[in-house]
Structure 1
Amino acid sequence: MVYPEEVPTASVRELPSDGYLLLDVRENDEWRAGHAPDAVHIPLRDLPIRIDELADEGIDQTVYVVCRTGGRSAQATAYLNAHGYEAVNIAGGMKSWHTEGKPMIADSDTDPEVL
């Protein structure tokens, strides 16, 4: 078993300005409430059957993985790295994303929030 402290991790402040893929592995209701505008959404439970979708998004890029606080994204990061991807967990997840003032959108007429 791989533990979160064993996966590559970066803070929101350490994210590059471009040239990366942001993968959100939260559940559908969390995604709808608020997410990064350019993120790709694949819930963690669906990742094994939908992993090939990442190749369509640009496998030559580093995949930065986000969830609510960093636990699920650490699991996804370990899984992706074990399957040949270059993946990095975002410490603090969408909670940190929001705290750092990064852009967010919601799939409704409400203000985006992190569930």
Structure 2
Amino acid sequence: MLDFTYKRISQEEAKKIMDSESKYIILDVRREEEFREGHIKNAINIPNEDISPYELLDLDIEMDTPILVYCRSGHRSLTASLKLSLAGYKDIYEFGGILTWPYEIVK
């Protein structure tokens, strides 16, 4: 039986994690050109299309490191979160899209 899970959280909850935790990854799963137009501070960009449910990301992180996932509107982040879970990551938080992100964005 496959064990895949991720948590859907609000953007407010994601911001609280970013402000209070020291060990986490912010993952922007939009295309590179979208990322360059503006993204959440400290986010890394790996497009959803480049994430495989069968292999780990090329990141030097432990499997239980919290990964906060977002995209433009919330659709690709759901797909990416599922693929990350299938790849074996254990602590995934999907928080929607940058279109409704009420906090700072860097360009």
Q: TM exceeds 0.5?
A: yes
Alpha-carbon displacement from aligned partner over 1:55-88 (angstroms, at most 9, x marks no partner): x145432111100011000000011111211212
Task: Give the structure 2 partner of residue 42 of structure 1.
Answer: 46
Note if contact 2:56-2:87 (Cα within 8 Å) is conserved in structure 1: no
Aligned residues, how many? 96
| 8 Å contact kept, 1:42–1:50 | no
**Higher helix proportion (structure 1 or 2):** 1
Partner of 1:111: none
Alignment partners' CA distance in 2, 1:59 and 1:14: 21
In 1: Cα distance, 2:42 partner to 2:55 partner: 18
Matches within 5 A, 1:22-61: 22-48=26-52, 51-54=56-59, 56-61=60-65
**What stretches of structure 2 of length at least 5 have no aligned partner?**
none
Matched residue SS, 1:52: coil
Q: CA deviation at 1:50?
A: 7.8
Partner SS for 1:38: coil
Rounded Cα–Cα distance in structure 2 between residues aligned with 1:58 and 1:36: 22
In 2: Cα distance, 1:83 partner to 1:50 partner:
5
Q: How many Å apart are 1:96 and its aligned residue?
A: 2.0
Q: Which runs of 5 or more residues in structure 1 are unaligned?
A: 1-5, 107-115
The answer on whether the counterparts of 2:26 and 2:67 sit within 8 Å (CA) in structure 1 is yes
Give the Cα–Cα distance (whole angstroms) in 2 for the partners of residues 104 and 57 of structure 1: 24
Identity over aligned residues, as a percent?
Answer: 31
- Relative to structure 1, is the Cα distance of residues 103 and 50 closer, same or farther in structure 2, using a 3 angstrom cutoff? farther
Q: What amino acid maps onto 1:89 in structure 2?
A: E
Distance of 1:74 and 1:41 partners within structure 2: 15
Question: Given the alignment of the two structures, is residue 65 of structure 1 paired with residue 64 of structure 2, yes or no?
Answer: no
Aligned counterpart, 2:11: 12
